[in-house]
Structure 1
């Protein structure tokens, strides 16, 4: 994953130089067009051969962990690597983090298959690989681990937690040897945000939540929009952003890429409000075009970049109105990155930890949490769903009618406070067909259940079912568990 990140970084630098040379000699411009057509053709072939390398790859990882998507790890690994380096490195508004997660999960799957692991052990290794991928992409091992638990695995299994953390720490150690110990987004902001101005954090969180819902709704409709407007075979849609990036690179080469350099530039130079608004519109529209095309690339860093621009724009407007000191604008840039991701991904813990690790300071956890939780609550009140889970549902629904294989697999169902399972005896629960409750994890103890065993809050139910019925059974049990609180 470190090589993936390094090649993208170096490639983007070469492309920026090429666009600058194109201003001096038109033959460089011809070369740019020719190379981009070759990149488009290569990615079209790769996507046609293996459609599951399209996009970020996180929905594929979620669906694979549900047991309803079987992928050949090597076919995914090398195609995602090559396609991602070419597309993201060419300056499209795509992130390397989602692809890094899928690359890591593919490595984990390959390792599991080498060890002849199946079922739970295989899924744990895939999860650990995913955490390692995000850790290497951002030098953020804790956030990488929490992302797997909060966004992909959806429970805090100790086995997943410890294995993922171990892999993430190892990946971070290797990545640090490539890129050094400086945080990915090392922004200097020495001023603490005053408690008297926390009203701005609430207002910013509300704004981020509303814009987060808009982002979710547009992103989920992108495949339909491409089918309706572009009318090309799906594997050729990548040519659309590859052609559109040419004028952007020629006119504004400094805006190319996922947005890491743009975020850092906001600390050195404060653009006028209209320029920030223009950058936000440009990045919002073209990131949608880039991701909707299906080219290998994610939305992780583009979301953080859009959040930074929203925070910067809000801060500049408040400064111009005399409601905020100018030196606090950079604080809002950082808080808004966490808030926008927390709203869109509905993963506030990951958002807070991610920005903390990326910026490299623990001094501002309180305002980060206020903005993140406010944005999360606004999205929740507006019926927004986690974006990666929503993207995965389309694939999962196609897998609900799979035939039984005869191979048993395990499901872990956490019993949260408010669940309808609490204080019920095992015999009183309407368990789905073809399932067996084989054990209950209660703290450090494992109980062998019988009919009159009472389920308590905090328990983890270990259920056995057919491998191909995992998702169906899990969804039914989660629905049963939530009936009392609905």
Structure 2
């Protein structure tokens, strides 16, 4: 064995240290381009999202609980949606699939205005629809418009769109980290958009901060009481995950069956036909004053109600089916709205149902159900856990993860977003 020369060791280590260096090109890109851009986008989106939220509250205040008013309002929104979507079907439905399926953002100012108007009326009451669908569309436009001022290359257009989408979603859901992870996780079933994480997170935090300053810092859910859990509780959470996996398959099948059938109708009458079919459900849910289901997109009070009180199991099953059908006949037929809120509501109902059957803590199981159903339907397990923890401000990482993993695995292969890819590798191979 040859003798080791200490000087050679030191010399070799010095050479290795010399090979370690900072990537100043990337650092400069972040310091002088991406960070300022993300901050500006966050500021703009935070202000626009605040005005959007304020408008929702004002419009909702004009809608009374009188059955005739509810019916007329639903028909008005459906008719308006058909008219404004006549030559632009991008105005219909969630908007996420459109953003996911394109690397180039070609949203015009006119489309932005039309989508804003339709989303405001659709989310102001009557329909069970989420804010994140329009958030993707509107946020992407604002971010892309800002990118033109910063002269950001078109090769980054996909990341630019995600920055705005994450910022708008973060503000309206009051969940900056959950929204950032959601927009980066939603494109793929088995992968994430890691390249844009710092930019999306910065914009989401800034947007949320502006929104919280202008509209209040309170969380979407008001959760009080005991949330303690024990190891045996995980068995019931596994059972909840199994139920949710089955329910998510039913919901996704209903949604795409309705969407497929609606495609054979003219664009101008498609939303109206769906709403006419859904009117009995809308009127029925409107009379469930205690749960606030049809105003959930305005104040999210329904999620709090489902988390703090046990509902009889027979009523829970009817509400689950009613919500699935309502979303399929409205959003599936083109009403502007997202699918996160419906997923959270259905998940909360299933969790509440399990808690009711076994006399368990409704809050623990409703929150776990929310995360599990969102994970199963959107194929975003990490975002689902973070999002529910943020909107509820609770510490339930283990129960939520247990339920999420079960529902995600057992529902693998089906998802509510048709533009999702398996992973980046398979996308590149195509």
Asked if TM exceeds 0.5, the reply is yes
User: In the alignment, does 2:379 pair up with 1:343?
Assistant: no
For residues 170 and 76 of structure 1, the distance between their equivalents in structure 2, rounded to whole angstroms, comes to 25
Q: How many matched pairs?
A: 373
Query: After superposition, what is the alpha-carbon deviation per residue over 1:48-104, rounded to whole angstroms, capped at 9, x for unaligned?
Result: 132112111111111122x4xx52331331111100111221411111121112111
* Structure 2 CA distance for partners of 1:215 and 1:155, relative to 1, 3 Å: same
User: Aligned residue for 1:435?
Assistant: none
Q: CA–CA distance in 2 between the matches of 1:331 and 1:359?
A: 11
1:354 aligned partner:
387
CA distance in 1, matches of 2:249, 2:198: 33
Cα distance in 1 between the residues matched to 2:99 and 2:419? 11
Using structure 1 for the length normalisation, give the TM-score. Answer: 0.71
The 5 A counterparts of 1:379-418 are 379-380=411-412, 383-384=413-414, 386-388=415-417, 390-391=418-419
Kept in 1, the 8 Å contact 2:346–2:370? The answer is: yes
Matched, 1:109 2:144: yes
Q: Does structure 1 residue 475 correspond to structure 2 residue 427?
A: yes
Distance 1:250-1:351 versus aligned 2 partners, 3 A rule: closer
Equivalent-residue separation in structure 2 for 1:9 and 1:294 (angstroms): 23
Q: Which residue of 1 aligns with 2:54?
A: 6
Change (3 A) 1:315 1:250: closer
Contact kept in structure 1, 2:93 and 2:338, CA below 8 Å:
yes
1:250–1:296 Cα change, 3 Å: closer
Following TM superposition, by how much is the alpha carbon of 1:9 offset from its aligned partner in structure 2, in angstroms? 3.5
TM-score, L = length of structure 2: 0.80
The answer as to whether partners of 1:304 and 1:337 remain within 8 angstroms in 2 is: yes
Residue number among 169, 178, 195 corresponding to 1:143 in the alignment: 178
Counterpart Cα distance in 1 of 2:125 and 2:365:
30
Distance in 2, matches of 1:38 and 1:290, equals 13
Q: Distance in 1 between matches of 2:76 and 2:403?
A: 43
Deviates more, 1:186-195 or 1:142-151: 186-195
Residue 316 (structure 1) aligned with residue 316 (structure 2): no
| TM-aligned CA deviation for residue 347 of structure 1 | 0.9
Which of 237, 257, 261 matches 1:225? 261
CA contact (8 A) 1:50 1:75 kept: no
Q: What's 2:327 paired with?
A: 287
Change (3 A) 1:9 1:302: farther
Query: Could you report, residue by residue, the CA deviation over 1:419-465 in whole angstroms, capped at 9, with x for unpaired residues?
Result: xxxxxxxxxxxxxxxxxxxxxxxxxxxxxxxxxxxxxxxxxxxxxxx
TM-fit CA distance, 1:308: 0.1
Q: Any conservation in 2 of the 1:91–1:258 contact (CA below 8 Å)?
A: no
Question: Secondary structure at the residue paired with 1:223?
Answer: helix
Q: Secondary structure at the match of 2:411?
A: helix
Counterpart of 2:29? none
Unaligned runs of 5+ in 1: 23-28, 320-325, 394-412, 416-473, 480-486
Q: Which residue of 2 aligns with 1:367?
A: 399
Distance 1:222 1:250 in 2: 22
Per-residue deviation, 1:209: 1.1
Whether the aligned pair in 1 keeps the contact of 2:166 and 2:204 (CA below 8 Å) is: yes
Distance in 2, matches of 1:221 and 1:79, equals 27
How far is 1:392 from its partner?
A: 6.0
Q: 1:56 aligns with which of 83, 94, 108?
A: 94
What CA distance in whole angstroms lies between the structure 2 residues aligned with 1:299 and 1:250? 20
Give the distance between the partners of 1:11 and 1:36, measured in 2 at CA: 13
**Given the alignment, which residue of 60, 65, 80 partners 1:19?**
65
Give 2:301's match in structure 1, choosing from 261, 268, 277.
Answer: 261
1:193 is paired with a residue whose SS is: coil
Runs (4+) of structure 1 moved beyond 6 Å? none
CA displacement, residues 102-131 of structure 1 (integer Å, 9 cap, x when unaligned): 111111111123334333333222110011
Superposition deviation, residue 7 in structure 1: 2.2
Instruction: Please report how far the alpha carbon of residue 45 of structure 1 lies from its aligned counterpart in structure 2 after TM superposition.
Output: 1.7
* 2:217 counterpart SS class: coil
For residues 313 and 249 of structure 1, the distance between their equivalents in structure 2, rounded to whole angstroms, comes to: 18
1:271 and 2:304 matched = no
Q: CA deviation at 1:211?
A: 1.3
Change (3 A) 1:269 1:11: farther
Report the equivalent of 1:119: 154
Q: Is the 8 A contact 1:57 1:102 kept in 2?
A: yes
Q: Displacement, 1:185? A: 1.6
Residue 345 of structure 2 is matched in structure 1 by 305
Query: Which moves more between the two structures, 351-360 or 91-100?
Result: 91-100
Deviation at 1:137, TM superposition (A): 1.5
Q: What does residue range 174-213 of structure 1 map to in structure 2 within 5 Å?
A: 174-213=210-249
Q: Structure 1 residues 309 and 191 mapped into 2: Cα distance closer, same or farther (>3 Å)?
A: same
- Where in structure 2 are there 5+ consecutive unaligned residues? 1-48
SS of the residue corresponding to residue 11 of structure 1 reads helix
> What SS does the corresponding residue of 1:183 show, helix, strand or coil?
coil
Task: Identify if the C-alpha distance between structure 1 residues 241 and 175 changes in structure 2 by more than 3 Å, giving closer, same or farther.
Answer: farther
Which structure has greater strand proportion? 1
